[in-house]
């Protein structure tokens, strides 16, 4: 089970990430704009009323719709969606059903999908082979 503390710790571990001042949401700075990659789900409880935050569910960006659909097909206890997200690359995640390890992977992918390319590049590892004797 993942908690809000886990979400915050993971999100803020990524470069150029900031938490929203007025909401439980996280974005990464890209070209002078804060691009959201994880936020609390706002549920439509009453059809004629505004959406309300549901702290038990986190919306997380996916790389594309294919990744979203794969997650939805893989585990309906952890992941779901709603009509509001039709055609949008994000999945809704039940925090009580995901592990912290799952969350790290999901959030890393989400962050990378919104971050500037220069932030996501990792230096290539040089592999040293032992000398032959």
CATH of the domain at 19: 3.90.1150.30
Asked if the structure places residue 100 within a domain, the reply is yes
Q: Is 88 inside a domain boundary?
A: yes
Average per-residue pLDDT for the chain: 90
Does residue 132 surpass a pLDDT of 80?
no
Residue 17 belongs to domain spanning? 4-120
- Phi, psi (degrees; rounded to nearest 5) at 70: -65, -40
The three-class DSSP label of residue 15 is coil
Inside any domain, residue 79: yes
> Alpha carbon of 83 to those of 33, 87, 90, 94: distances in Å?
27, 9, 12, 17
Distances (CA, A) of 34 to 30, 91, 93: 6, 20, 22
User: Among 92, 99, 84, 112, which residue's Cα sits nearest to residue 40?
Assistant: 92
In a domain, 125, yes or no: no
Domain count, the chain: 1
Compute the average pLDDT of residues 99-118. Answer: 94
Q: pLDDT at position 133, please?
A: 45
Please determine, for residue 124, whether its predicted confidence score (pLDDT) is greater than 70: no
Quote the CA–CA distance of 127 and 105 in Å, as a whole number: 25
Tokens for 66, please give them: 């294919």
- DSSP letter assigned to residue 11: H
Does some domain include residue 133? no
Q: What is the pLDDT of residue 60?
A: 98
Q: Is residue 15 part of a domain?
A: yes
Q: How confident is the model at residue 120 (pLDDT cuts 50, 70, 90)?
A: confident
* The model's pTM: 0.85
Instruction: Tell whether the model's pLDDT for residue 128 goes beyond 50.
Output: no
């Amino acid at each position: 089970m993942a908690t809000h503390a886990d979400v915050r710790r993971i999100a803020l571990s990524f470069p150029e990430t900031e938490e929203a001042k007025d909401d439980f949401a996280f974005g990464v700075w890209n070209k002078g704009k804060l691009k959201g990659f994880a936020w609390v789900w706002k549920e439509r409880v009453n059809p004629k009323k505004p959406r309300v935050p549901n702290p038990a569910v986190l919306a997380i960006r996916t790389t594309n719709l294919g990744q979203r659909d794969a997650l939805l097909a893989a585990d309906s206890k952890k992941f779901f969606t709603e009509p509001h997200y039709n055609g949008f690359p994000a999945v809704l995640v039940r925090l009580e059903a995901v592990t912290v390890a799952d969350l790290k992977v999901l959030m890393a992918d989400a962050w990378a999908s919104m971050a500037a390319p220069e932030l996501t590049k990792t230096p290539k590892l040089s592999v040293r082979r032992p000398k032959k004797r």
